[in-house]
Each structure stands twice: as C-alpha cells, then as structure tokens.
Amino acid sequence: MILHELLNYDTLRLIWWVLLGVLLIGFAVMGGFDLGTGTLLPFIAKTDLERRVVINAVGPTWEGNQVWLVLGGGAIFAAWPQLYAVSFSGFYLAMFIILVALIIRPVAFKYRSKLESKAWRNSWDWALFVGGFVPALICGVAVGNVIQGVPFRLTPEMYIYYDGSFFELLNPFAVLCGLVSVSMLVAHGAAWLRIKTDGVLADRARTIGSIAMLTTIVLYALAGVALWHWIEGYSITSVINTTGPSNPLFKTAAVSQHAWFTNYDSKPWTLLAPALGFAGTLLACLLLRARRDNLAMLASSLGIAGIITSVGMSMFPFILPSSVDPRFSLTVWDSSSSHMTLFIMLVSTAIFLPLIVAYTTWVYRVLWGKVDAKAIEGGKGHAY
C-alpha cells in the first residue's frame, strides 16, 4: 500500500509509456531479425541447402520472439484501453493482413521440407518472404499514419468512430516509414545471418546487410526531412493535468508545422534518440564490413532502439493524434487505465518480465553457434 501511494498516477502513466516503448523495441529487436531473415530468404539463398540453413538460423527461436508482440498487445489493451480500441478497430484490415502473414510463417516453417518437390519448397519459401516482409512493411506504415494523425473522433459518451479507410493508410509518408521499417529489419536479419552462418551465405549477408543499413540511414533521414517540411504535428494548448481523469475531451490541442520537433528544442537530451538511430545503424554497417559480427548485431539493435524511441520522443505526450479534431487526440495523461490497474500491472510486470528475459537469455545461450550445413545435409540435428 505504501508503494502504491508513492507511485502516484502521473508517475505510473509515464512508467507505462516507457514500458510500452520497451516492449515495442523488444519486439523489433528480437522478432525483427526473424522478419528480416524471412524477407531475405528467396534472395540470399540460392540452393535448397542454403535456404534450409537460413531457415534453421531462426527456426528454433522465432516462436519465443513472438512473446514480445503478445506483451506489447497486452500492454496496450490493459494500460491504454482507448488506444487499443481506436488502433485495433481503425487499423482492422491492416491488422488482419499482419495476422494472416504471421499465421503463414509457422505453417511454412513446418511444411516447407516435408516434400522433395522444388515447386513445393519454392512456394513455402515465398510464403516465408510474405510472412516477413508484410508485417515489417505494415507496422512501419502504421507508425507513419500515427505520426500524421488518425481519422477518429469521440462522442461526449466516449464512443469511438473511425472515419478513414484502409487505402488512405497507404499515403506517401506512411509508405516511406514502411520502407524504413523493412530496410531496418532486413539489415537486422542480415546481421543475424552473419552470426549464424558461414561461407558464401555469410558473405552475401555481409553485402546485403551493409546496403540495407545504408538504405535505412538514407530513408530515415528522408523521413525526418519530410516530417519537417510537409507533416504537421500536434501540441496541447490548454493546461496539462497529469493526474486528471482519462478523458481526452478535457483538453484543447492544435495542429502546427514543426510541432513534432518542439521536444527536441525544449529538451535537447531527447536528441540522443535520433542520434542513436543514425549512429547505431552506421556503426553496425562499419562493424559488419569489419567482420565484427556480434558487435554489429548489438549496434543494429541500438540503431533500431534509437529509431523507435525517436518517434516516441517526437510525439510525447501524444500517443495517437486525431486528424479529425486535435482535441480528440489520445495522450499519456488522458487515455490510460486507472491508477490501481496500472499499479497492479506494474507489479506483475516487475515479477514476470525479468523471468522472460532470463529464460530468453538462457535459450539463446544454449542455441548459440552457427548452423551446421553438413548436419542439415545428413538429416541430423535440424528440424527444418
């Protein structure tokens, strides 16, 4: 009870905003190299044996990596119910496409090598490509739309109405963000393949990964330029009540040019996020070229963390702006669950999240090492 009183409402709201970012970064880093590897599969591996090596590089761990996606969705549902309601209803078709792509992946993993037929295996290889490329692209497109504002409105009774359509999500800035996501995860997947493979596959991963990392830097920079020149941001124009009720209609907000850069101007330390995005990705490229594979993977992870964090830093305290009326926008301070709910969830997270991290660390330690092509060819020790 004392701890509950010490962690006041505004502190818990801020903690859960940070935790949501951590979970999203966790999924992008841990599940991201799975998606990137799947996207690379038809292009980086030329023979059936090479493709089996690539599949076995992620086959034993991809399921565990999806835990971060489940945790992220659960955190949104429990900590930010209005965010969950708007995003999962407004982006329903996009979410459905992601779900279909993610369902295809395990089927492809299990059935791909069941038959010797070349056509059969090629079909499942392209299914794995779809299962990696589509979620990476759509997640980036979703972020691009969130930055621009989503066409939803609220009634005085807190009913939520979404006024947009699926094809409106495919606007130029959102597609650019989607390409940033794809190139970022492809680079991450290539860094992972450098760790898990050797020979010609590792050499191809080095080349493709370097190109993807440089592409990520260029596209990320272009997104920043577009954000400065053409995308309007949001700002709160009324007094901010950090401990007030979860009702977005109690505030007033406005749309203005360069508003997403206000936090960088008022709090210069937030510039560390985009700096980490650029520096981490560039460092990963240099380390990959220098064949420092483990360090390259770490640097790639830091680059991903910087890019995702920069979105949160730019938008804070907004978590889902409304393009219909800025007043309807959801923020950290007016769209969370109750104080008690956030506290109980925080205690549960403090218990279970370290267990998940510890178990994941143990699994990767046990499974560490390169995939043995000879063992695959001999049919020993590999399931895929």
Q: pLDDT digit string (tens) for 361-382?
A: 998 898 888 888 877 876 665 6
Contacts 24+ apart (CB under 8 A), 15-18: 15/342, 15/346, 16/75, 16/79, 16/80, 16/336, 16/342, 16/345, 16/346, 17/312, 17/316, 17/317, 17/319, 17/332
Q: Is the pLDDT of residue 148 over 60?
A: yes
Q: What pLDDT is stored for residue 154 in this prediction?
A: 92
- List, for residues 218-274, the tens digit of each pLDDT value: 999 999 999 999 999 999 999 999 988 999 999 999 999 999 999 999 999 999 999
According to the model, what pLDDT value does residue 13 have?
Answer: 95
Task: Give pTM, 2 decimals.
Answer: 0.94
Over the stretch 29-87, which tens digit does the pLDDT of each residue have? 999 999 999 999 999 999 999 999 999 999 888 888 888 988 888 889 989 999 999 88
Position 113 scores a pLDDT of 85
Q: What is the mean pLDDT of residues 287-294?
A: 95
Which residues are bridge partners to 150 per DSSP?
A: 322
